[in-house]
Amino acid sequence: MTLKDDLWYPSDCCLIDGEWRAPIGGARIDLVDPSDGGHLCQVARGTDGDIDTAVKAAQSALDGEWGRMTAVDRGRVLTRIGQLVLERTEELARIETRDVGKPLTQARNDVIALARYMEFYGGAADKVHGETIPFQDGYTVYTLREPHGVTGHIVPWNYPMQIIGRSVGAALAMGNAAVLKPAEEACLTALAFAAIALEAGLPRGALNVVPGLGEEAGAALTAHPGVHHISFTGSVNTGSLVQTAAARNVIPVTLELGGKSPQLVFNDADIDRALPFLVNAGIQNAGQTCSASSRILVQRGVFDEVRDRMAEKYRALRVGPAMSDMDVGPLVSSRQKDIVNGFLSRANDLKIAGQARLPDDLPQAGAYVAPTLLAPVDADHALAQQEIFGPVQVIIPFDDEEDAVRIANGTEFGLVASVWSADGGRQMRLAKRLHAGQVFLNNYGAAGGVELPFGGVGKSGHGREKGFEALYGFSTVKTVAAWHG
């Protein structure tokens, strides 16, 4: 089955005001299959004119049917979108697999997560309430939770469906109208999602999708004066540009950026239980995960055991084309492969503890990198400090709890951390002391839980998505004070 068989919508268009429209400038972007370097299809290269039309369509939706819809009805539409997403699980998974090189099982999990976000936010749409506030005699005071208005969503290529689900889902639940700019390498499931939303009855203009380059369509969206909130997920450098542009229009931003997330393994840890989490958190989606655990901190008493057992797992990893559904697929592009290889070329002074073998028959033009485990690595080494965004993990030894906290908190990031230890007191102490938006105790990631607020501190960003918390971020509070004597 070719990609064309799965594309039931015009994938080289923008979706604006409920209509499929060719980009105003007529330009297109060629998509490449990272598994073999072959040409996939073309997508629209939207520019400022398309963004402007999309923002105006979103505003019209707010002034029209979408803006008048009750919270209950918004929730029903979102829930219906979730059902239709699930019905198309296989098509969506195959599209994503070809587009970004994600092994099929992992792409299926992304579809299921997207459906879960729609169910969760569909159910939550009518459950965010204002308050009444006891005030001076003669007054009644209450608050209203209102949408920001037009929300801009800029999404990266690594988990397009999950990130669209958590960000667009929460924004629509609160009654905002969205303009989505997917990553240039990964627009296909964003467009598919919008097609499904229309089919489910989402009113025209409530969700608009403009594919395009970051510096063109992305920059135009962040600079547009008709946008009232920006949700950005991506790299630190681009996040900083987005925040600067938003500051010019004095609008709020949510920034979900990178990470260098540690797992701390103490001498008293249940290593049998920890082992699959230690490795999977580094190689899932070929390490291209913001919350990837790229630093494994191990207490000296179990260092050799953890290193050797992780190395054994690395040697057993199967790498192959995404459609063959191995443990690890290609990276998203040859550009990303070059970036990761660039990091590995700076690891000449480091010891490879374990490495997966790349099969001889892999397509030459595929973007493959052999998953690599480096140990021991000094906490200050560039590979222990910078986000690599590929299947590379480092193991760093530590002496005691104090040393572990110092190393764990010793990067500019703070997205996720985990603690493996049988000591309950230590678990509670470290949950407080670790700089991270999420801390996991004797697990890592809690299976992605859509209900769990997610976001970073430091250069991992600010604001929270996922869970109920996101609904507060995608709304604003109005206070009404009535004097009645």
Residue choice 117, 157, 266, 398 for contact with ligand NAD (CB under 6 A): 157
**Which tokens hold the place of 44?**
């629209």
**Residue 41 corresponds to which amino acid?**
C
Residues with a catalytic annotation lie at 256
Residue choice 196, 253, 290, 328 for contact with ligand NAD (CB under 6 A): 290
Please answer whether residues 257 and 459 qualify as being in contact, where contact means their C-beta atoms are separated by less than 8 angstroms.
Answer: yes
From CA 331, how far away is CA 338, in angstroms rounded?
A: 10
Shortest CB 78 distance to ligand NAD, Å:
21
By beta-carbon proximity to ligand NAD, the closer residue of 16 and 219 is 219
From CA 146, how far away is CA 144, in angstroms rounded?
A: 6
Shortest CB 156 distance to ligand NAD, Å:
3
Query: Binding of ligand NAD at residue 372 (CB under 6 A)?
Result: no
Shortest CB 400 distance to ligand NAD, Å:
30
Task: Give the DSSP per-residue string, 462-474.
Answer: ES-BSTTHHHHHT
In the β-sheet with 14-16, what is the strand arrangement from edge to edge? 19-21, 14-16, 207-209, 177-181, 150-154, 229-233, 253-256, 461-462
Please answer whether residues 208 and 157 qualify as being in contact, where contact means their C-beta atoms are separated by less than 8 angstroms.
Answer: no
Closest residue by Cα to residue 102 from 15, 169, 213, 189: 189
Residue choice 99, 119, 327, 387 for contact with ligand NAD (CB under 6 A): 387
**Which tokens hold the place of 174?**
């609160």
Task: Convert residues 176-215 into a mask of x (bound to ligand NAD by CB under 6 A) and - (unbound).
Answer: -----x-xx-----------------------------xx
From CA 448, how far away is CA 471, in angstroms rounded?
A: 18
Query: Binding of ligand NAD at residue 338 (CB under 6 A)?
Result: no
**Which tokens hold the place of 334?**
């040859």
By beta-carbon proximity to ligand NAD, the closer residue of 118 and 246 is 246
Stretch of 61-69, 81-89, 255-263, 442-450 contacting ligand NAD, by CB under 6 A:
255-263
Shortest CB 255 distance to ligand NAD, Å:
8
From CA 464, how far away is CA 59, in angstroms rounded?
A: 25
Shortest CB 286 distance to ligand NAD, Å:
12
Q: Which residue is nearest to ligand NAD (CB)?
A: 214
Interface with ligand NAD (CB under 6 A): 154-159, 181, 183-184, 214-215, 218-219, 222, 233-235, 238, 241-242, 256-259, 290, 387, 389, 415, 456, 461
